[in-house]
Structure 1
Amino acid sequence: MQNGVVFVDSKFYSRDFPDAMSEVLPGVSWGLIEAFPTPAYWAYQVWANEQESEPLNYKLGATLAEEVGACLLGGHGIPANVGLAAFAYLRDLGAFEGRAPSESQLLEWLSTPLKIGSRSVRYRFAKQKSRYLHAALNALEEGSPPVHSGRALRDWLLDVPGIGFKTASWIARNWLGADDVAILDIHILRAGALGGFLSSGLSVERHYLQLEAEFLALSQAMGVRASKLDALMWYQMMSAADVVHGLMSRIGLKAA
């Protein structure tokens, strides 16, 4: 066994984790809890976060419409601070209240430079995202999105133009705290490659559901919530990009 400890607000917490050489999944060792980024490391990180007075919170909006807007305005090709700034700007304009704004109105708003600190930044893909956001808000207004499970909400959102598996899963995870979906991107794939818990040679574009099933199997075997595992894994892998690239280069894996 391995023992993990954490100090929070002058309190001491301790927990035992499986032996490093034992298997969490067939052919996948737990590894050491202090060895980034083994399965044991991630299990410890999730457990340690749960001892915090303010555990991880990933909800971005106060309503489902706001959550859809926040996730649609972020994502691939959009820096996180720019996506959040665009969301806050549209929210303050009332874009997510009442009737859905027209596509032209959304385009006008998204074409306005955003103030981020002392900088003025233009939002990329304003025309495309205006079209997608208008369609999504209309769908929410006219339909009845299921909220009894993350998978049901994710599958409903997939019918909205411009929303694929990653964005739909992101919305469902955030809004419902869902543990039956996973938000997969390059950072999660790198974690899977280094930890050996995702099949090699697969891509989120072509094999999303298979990779998701493997990720969910890992979280279940580890006894942790998939939603928290996903969020913590993404944040740390993204934040430690140089370390991740070095580890992948050392064992001959491509970091792309």
Structure 2
Amino acid sequence: MPIPTLPATRKPTEVAVVDNCASRVLNACTCCTPVLWGEDWQLGTASFWIQQALEFPTGAGCHRLGNSLRQEIAACMLGGYGIPGPVGNAAFEVLRDAGLIDSHLDENLMVTTMSSLLAAPLHLGAGRWARYRFHQQRPRRLAAALSTFSAWEEVAEELSDTELRDNLMGLPGIGPKTASWVVRNHRASDAVAVIDVHIRRAGIAAGLFCRSWNLPRDYQKFEDAFLTWASYGSVSAADLDAAIWRLLSSLGSQGRAILSNNAIFSRPADANRSTCMSSES
């Protein structure tokens, strides 16, 4: 299948370069091949993703899946690894409409009822149906997380974004990515980053992440580099994250092919010019 050519945001002759830095050389560390910041019409460059973030629809609550922090926790836990976005959203809507998320039922009763509902086919709209892959495992984790969250739910909104993320990581079944996802969605936060496989691939191809970094071990390194990227491009970190995920998740394997074909944007190492973006910004 041919790789799709995405429309340029502007003609090359009309490009507006962030801080006149299209020729700036980026490299996450000394073991990585330096990559140019590039122009915003060049697929996969750091500048391209900044432009995508600028075009991402912003506004109050634009990232939210739920109407409350409790609902956001549920929506993000039901999505994520192994669950396509539409399926996770459909699972969340079923449990929300059944009143299982906002209630404070007995944990065992929640698990039994959630599992029963998620075992049935989920309606995705337009005549499409799908089954929820983890209809026994996820309800156990979700029920345990919601029960534990109840103990400090009343003071949750008093916490800073990073404090909230750290507290969410103490809930059963929630790691740094899911906790960051909840905070990003609920508060449109620019203090955290949701580092998943799509963001990792985009950052490596753009020269912002080191290929040797792994998740979840190096989550803090990924996050620090990502937040620097967004700050340098003068865009919301929440919008940059969402824009990358939206495009690459919709392209699937074609998106991976685009990112793996970015050799035209790289340049040989040059001791005088190959410096980390964070040290020059």
Q: Classify the TM-score, shorter chain.
A: 0.7 to 0.9
Q: How does 1:1-256 map to 2 (within 5 A)?
A: 17-19=18-20, 20-23=22-25, 29-49=36-56, 57-100=62-105, 102-117=110-125, 118-144=127-153, 146-147=156-157, 148-241=159-252, 242-248=254-260, 251=263
| Structure 1 residues 213 and 226, CA gap change in structure 2 (3 angstroms) | same
Q: Secondary structure at the match of 1:205?
A: coil
TM-score, length-normalised on structure 1? Answer: 0.83
**Structure that is richer in strand per residue:** 1
Superposition CA RMSD, Å:
2.7
Query: How many Å apart are 1:190 and its aligned residue?
Result: 1.0
CA drift at 1:75:
0.6
* More contact order relative to length (CA 8 Å, sep ≥ 6): 2
Q: Helix, strand or coil for the counterpart of 1:126?
A: coil
Between the aligned partners of 2:172 and 2:60, the Cα distance in structure 1 is 34
Calculate percent identity across the aligned residue pairs. Answer: 34
CA deviations 1:107-126 (Å, max 9, x no partner) are: 22222322233344321111
What 5-or-longer segments of structure 1 have no aligned partner? Answer: 7-13, 252-256
Name the amino acid aligned to 1:140.
F
Amino acid at match of 1:33: D
Structure 2 unpaired stretches of 5+: 1-8, 29-33, 264-281
CA change 1:220–1:160 in 2 (3 A) is same
SS in 1 for 2:216: helix
Q: Deviations over 1:83-109 (max 9, x none)?
A: 111111111101122314522222222
- The aligned amino acid for 2:52 is Q
Alpha-carbon contact 1:153-1:172 (below 8 Å) kept:
yes
Shift of 1:5: 6.0
Distance of aligned partners of 1:233 and 1:204 in 2 relative to their CA distance in 1, 3 Å threshold: same
Amino acid at match of 1:22: R
The 8 Å contact of residues 100 and 141 in structure 1, kept in 2 or not, is answered as no
- Contact kept, 8 Å, 2:44 with 2:259, in 1: the verdict is no
- What TM-score do the two structures reach when normalised by structure 2? 0.76
Q: How many residues align?
A: 240
Cα displacement string for residues 198-223 of structure 1 (whole angstroms, at most 9, x for unaligned residues): 11111223211111111112112222
Q: Does the 8 Å contact 1:21/1:31 carry over to 2? A: yes
Amino acid at match of 2:79: G
Q: Letter of the aligned partner of 1:40 in structure 2?
A: S
Deviations 1:3-48 (A, max 9, x none): x869xxxxxxx96533311357886532111101111112222223
Retained in 2: the 8 A contact 1:35–1:41?
yes
Alpha-carbon distance in 2 for matches of 1:120, 1:88: 14
Deviates more, 1:126-135 or 1:146-155: 146-155
Q: Which residue does 2:274 correspond to in 1?
A: none
